[in-house]
Structure 1
Amino acid sequence: MDKLVSSRLNHESLPGDYIFPPETRPGGLKIPCSNISVIDLREAENGDRINTIQKMIKASEEFGFFQVINHGISENVMNEARSVFKELFEMPAEEKQKLCSDDPSKTCKMLTSSVNYATEKVHMWRDIFRHPCHPLEQWQHLWPENPTRYRECAGTFSVEVKKLASKILSLISEGLGLECGYFENDLTGSVLLSINYYPPCPEPSLALGVTKHSDPHIITILLQDHVSGLQVLKDGNWIAVEPIPNAFAINVGNQLQVISNGKLKSCEHRVVTNSHEARTSAGLFFAPTNECVVEPAKALTDEHHPPNFKPFKYKDFIPHFLSKHGDTDTVLKSFAAQKG
């Protein structure tokens, strides 16, 4: 329990096991904003669907990231979710202790840094609370009773974000030339909510909230708060994904890169800390079920465009992903199709 950074009273100095090697430190430079696309989903509903799809596909090819506005989720639902997620990490230490567990089979739990805390050389400056949230009736009763609003607010939020994921994946599948409803099956049968809390860090130039990684899922839908921290790696440079009021950040996962036969990119990203303000974010990971077979879509491959990846079960992908610490190129090379 004393490992949780949100429960420590003294943040005056950075412990040695949180100091990253010089080559991976964020440093003290201010990284400029990028031209990561901000896509207005209302345009697709108002007759400009093709243009919206083109923007989404282009952003997914170039950055693997984009943000969406006018997405249909009410400001009240978003604010209630932000509020209760923040409240979760501000609970007394004894309440948070009830949520902590070293049991790898426990699906709903709070931890610090990462699932590899016991073996990692350097820890990340964050606490995490995560649990499955689809289907809602299967999991909601396992969620914490405190904060008292948690089950209601997180439930409403996850249902609404799942609708948004369906909308976005429908646009992407149309842009790729796939049949309607391509992702409305076991490819998105698993939904995990991961809430990240990054307390003020005494020496942010030496620490990281999350190290460089890609996401192993289909897509991630991220709710940021007003505090900046998310950065995307583009052409060797780290660029900021600045929070936009009432927007969601969307990023392509490894499985979508495979299904698109490499057309869409699962971009590497990280989170930096700051010394003056806590940051809370909530990501919903949309993933295949364990037994689901993932492979390049048949509609995107032929004799002139052979599949770049071999078929695999999602449950076989995840252990490999974790062992390679989310290194996109290394992970995906392991599942590359044999040529010739």
Structure 2
Amino acid sequence: MEKMVSSWCNTVKFVPQDYVFPEDTRTEDQTVPILKNCPMIDLEKAVSGDRNDVIQQVLQASQDCGLFQVINHGVCDDLIKDTMEMSKEFFNMSNEEKASLYSLDPHKSCRLYTSSFDYARESIHLWRDVLKHPCHPLEEWVDLWPQKPSKYRDVVGKYSIEVRNLSLRILELIREGLELKPEYFGDEMKDVQMLVLSHYPPCPDPSLTLGILKHYDPYVITILYQGNMSGLQVMKDGQWVRVEPVANAFVVNIGQLLKVISNGKLESVEHRVVTNSKEPRYTIASFIGTRRDTIIEPAKALLEKDDCRPLYQAFSYKDFLQAHKEHRGEGEATLKVFKIEG
């Protein structure tokens, strides 16, 4: 527990050397521009308005940016607020109260850790603490979740269900837009849901550190709530730009698995997280993925409809995760392993 950034960061005036990243990987946040015209999609219109228009907005944003924000998404504002409060309460509990959850074992289902899943092998650490646990089906996992705060399991359980439902609604819009058959994203493709709560304490010199290294999400889709604190940056047109938070909006990231399934029609976004010196930042990310033995490949119906060849060979998700780990989250390098040449 003494390794947790939150355990010692208030006692230092300078960034420890093993948290200082090379100059070519870090950033001066003030010099990074805001992502202008970040796609903002009103999901309520998919029900009460022109559904096809919303589908086209989702597809366009997924092709151009690999991410978008959604409003009127159906997740209760009070539930979002309560879940964020649970996250803050958890991370601000004493080390003694959190110690039972702390582990360096990346295979532990529910665990509290610092930096990344592979802390022991890192030469430079990330400026963050993390609580990660599976949450679908809820009844299989909830008993492994934190017992404190006392309302954690109840509040976060309701949140995980609502955000999962939101993910499935967005996937359905994407399915319709790609003109894939109903239930294409069946149970197998959305069988896994992980919830990751992150705490980025104030840093004495944010220009030296990173909260998360640049990477692409190795999942189907990500739903992120970043509260009211900025820190998320994405690569757009060859430069890093900031994704500013919008009250009660969710950021939706297209995962690399969707890029493969769509045969490159949809783009996955490269992103990173920076730190700040003023306030702690808390985020909640929900990842929808699949089992390790699932076979991922371009949708055959899409290839037939467009009369085109597949860009990627079929592969198991287990093999994809191994390539993702070996290439440290680099998206193009990971997919190149499975790309069909010619």
- Write the deviation string for residues 231-255 of structure 1: whole angstroms up to 9, x where unpaired: 1101211111111001100001110
> 1:304: how far off?
3.7
Amino acid at match of 1:142: L
Which of 175, 181, 185 aligns to 2:187? It is 185
Which of 285, 310, 314 aligns to 1:311? It is 314
- Could you tell me how far apart the structure 2 residues matched to 1:105 and 1:304 are? 42
Match of 1:26 in 2: 27
**Contact 1:11–1:201 under 8 Å retained in 2:** no
Matches within 5 A, 1:278-317: 278-302=280-304, 304-317=307-320
**Contact 2:104–2:119 under 8 Å retained in 1:** no
Where 1:66 maps in the other structure, the secondary structure is strand
TM-score by length of 1: 0.97
For structure 2, list consecutive stretches of 5 or more residues without a partner in the other structure. none
Where 1:13 maps in the other structure, the secondary structure is coil
- Could you tell me how far apart the structure 2 residues matched to 1:33 and 1:292 are? 38
Which of 327, 330, 337 aligns to 2:330? It is 327
- Could you tell me how far apart the structure 2 residues matched to 1:152 and 1:316 are? 35
Match of 2:85 in 1: 83
For structure 1, list consecutive stretches of 5 or more residues without a partner in the other structure. none
- Could you tell me how far apart the structure 2 residues matched to 1:11 and 1:200 are? 11
Q: Which runs of 4+ in 1 moved over 3 A?
A: none
Across the aligned residues of Structure 1 and Structure 2, the Cα RMSD in angstroms comes to 1.2
- Write the deviation string for residues 75-134 of structure 1: whole angstroms up to 9, x where unpaired: 111011000011111010111221101223211001111012111221110011101000
- Could you tell me how far apart the structure 1 residues matched to 2:107 and 2:278 are? 36
- Could you tell me how far apart the structure 2 residues matched to 1:312 and 1:156 are? 34
- Could you tell me how far apart the structure 1 residues matched to 2:135 and 2:29 are? 38
Number of positions where the alignment pairs a residue of Structure 1 with one of Structure 2: 339
**Contact 1:301–1:307 under 8 Å retained in 2:** yes
**Contact 1:64–1:251 under 8 Å retained in 2:** yes
Amino acid at match of 1:259: I
> 1:61: how far off?
0.7
**Contact 2:104–2:118 under 8 Å retained in 1:** no
Which of 52, 55, 59 aligns to 2:54? It is 52
Bigger mean CA deviation after superposition, 19-28 or 163-172: 19-28
- Could you tell me how far apart the structure 2 residues matched to 1:92 and 1:274 are? 23
- Write the deviation string for residues 155-213 of structure 1: whole angstroms up to 9, x where unpaired: 00000001101100000111111112221321110000011110001100111111100
TM-score by length of 2: 0.97
Bigger mean CA deviation after superposition, 180-189 or 305-314: 180-189
Match of 2:257 in 1: 255
Matches within 5 A, 1:217-256: 217-256=219-258
- Could you tell me how far apart the structure 2 residues matched to 1:333 and 1:261 are? 13
- Could you tell me how far apart the structure 1 residues matched to 2:189 and 2:68 are? 21
Amino acid at match of 2:165: K
Match of 2:128 in 1: 126
- Could you tell me how far apart the structure 1 residues matched to 2:316 and 2:274 are? 33
- Could you tell me how far apart the structure 2 residues matched to 1:21 and 1:304 are? 46
- Could you tell me how far apart the structure 2 residues matched to 1:129 and 1:96 are? 10
Amino acid at match of 1:180: P
Where 1:282 maps in the other structure, the secondary structure is strand
Bigger mean CA deviation after superposition, 316-325 or 73-82: 316-325
- Could you tell me how far apart the structure 1 residues matched to 2:91 and 2:51 are? 40
